[in-house]
Amino acid sequence: MFAPGSGVSQRSSDWIVAGDAQPWRGFSVFARTRLDGDTLEVHRLEAGADVTAKWGSGFVRYLSDDQGVNGTPVKNIAVGGDLNLTQHWGVSTFGNRDLLQHAWVIRDVGVFYKDDCIRVDVYYRTKTLSSGGWAPVTSCPYA
């Protein structure tokens, strides 16, 4: 019934363990993991931290999954943040690095406008696609 990599296809399912903490205002950390139901081997691990201040916010995330979405291993780190230049305007950045391929898969830089009701981002993205080789693709989507 369930896919072999789901962790619930056998009699005993995998263990899911998660935790988060906010040791002080404006800073939080989290971790989640999926452990094999028989051997307690780590099949998936996610961890990250967020920081928020008056002048902006930022985050870092780590993901390791031995089966990934397509059944292939995934290991990456994502970082990003916003810097508020005025009450309504700011700049943002984002990056996602594939640690197995040693390549930045996505890199964004942008500007944003926000108020109490809306946020509008315009950003420039460089995305590296793997199709037998690595080739950069650039775009300027409106989000």
pLDDT digits (tens, 9 = 90+) for 37-77: 888 899 999 999 999 999 999 999 999 999 887 888 999 99
In degrees and rounded to multiples of 5, residue 140 shows phi and psi of -130, 75
Question: Which structural domain range is residue 113 located in?
Answer: 4-139
The pLDDT of residue 132 is: 47
Identify the residue with better confidence: 49 or 5.
49
The pLDDT of residue 102 is: 94
Structural domains of the chain, count: 1
The pLDDT of residue 70 is: 80
The pLDDT of residue 57 is: 98
Percent of the chain at pLDDT > 70 equals 82
* Statement: residue 34 has pLDDT above 60: yes
Burial status of residue 117 (CB atoms within 10 A of its CB: 0-12, 13-18, 19 or more): exposed
Cα angle at 63 between 60 and 69, to 5 degrees?
135
Which distant-in-sequence residues (6+ apart) come within 8 Å of 112 by Cβ? Answer: 82, 89, 90, 91, 92, 119, 120, 121, 122
